[in-house]
Amino acid sequence: MARRDRRRNAHRRGAGGGGRPGRLPGLPVPFGLPGLGHAGGTGLAAGRPRPRPRRRSRRRGAPVNRPARPARTAGLPGAGRLFWRGCTRRCPRCGAGHLFRRYFTLVPDCPRCGLHFEREPGYFTGALAVNIAMTMAVFVVGFVVILVATVPDVPVAPSLAVLVPIMVFGPIIGYPFSKTLWMAVDYGFLQKVSGRP
């Protein structure tokens, strides 16, 4: 009987709060709260908050490494600029003007960059082909315009009065332009294809 009374009294002290508080059945111990869990543990068990991993955020507007575009050859203008320089009787390399002492006399070198124009004997034979092509282009355009404007009754005499002067005076007027156009073609395309300096 005495032993039973002692057990009952001990049970009452634990249930009534006079002794060490017992753990309620079915409830987990909150290890994340300070002072609870294992005393010798680390991290959450010791009450220390676990550090959050840093996120590597990407800023807006940050430079992105992209493959560089191939740069154009230094000193070599584009095809449109070369064509314009040839049509305006300018140097194909630097664009300088005043390349003709007279209407038909071309200076040997560019007054600005020193480019030598007639690089070899017979160099301007290509300018002759350019001159013929220019004259034929103007002739064809004039013929088509006259044909469209006067069809079906095409006047022969007025047509010849327009087309014959084109064939006669066209090569003379286009002589200096054919030289600079040929230099532009040779400097921009032919030398690059052949690999000549």
Looking at residue 54, its pLDDT comes to 66
pTM over 0.85: no
pLDDT computed for residue 188 by the predictor: 86
Three state DSSP letters for the chain: CHHHHHHHHHHHHHHHCCCCCCCCCCCCCCCCCCCCCCCCCCCCCCCCCCCCCCCCCCCCCCCCCCCCCCCCCCCCCCHHHHHHHHHCCCCCCCCCCCCECCCCCECCECCCCCCECCCCCCCCHHHHHHHHHHHHHHHHHHHHHHHHHHCCCCCHHHHHHHHHHHHHHHHHHCHHHHHHHHHHHHHHHHHHHHCCC
154-165 pLDDT per residue, tens: 899 999 999 999
Mean pLDDT over the full length of the chain? 77
User: pLDDT per residue over 86-144, tens digit each?
Assistant: 999 999 999 999 999 999 999 999 999 999 999 889 999 999 999 999 999 999 999 99
pLDDT higher at 96 or 71: 96
Residue 37's pLDDT is: 47
Q: Average pLDDT in the 165-185 region? A: 95
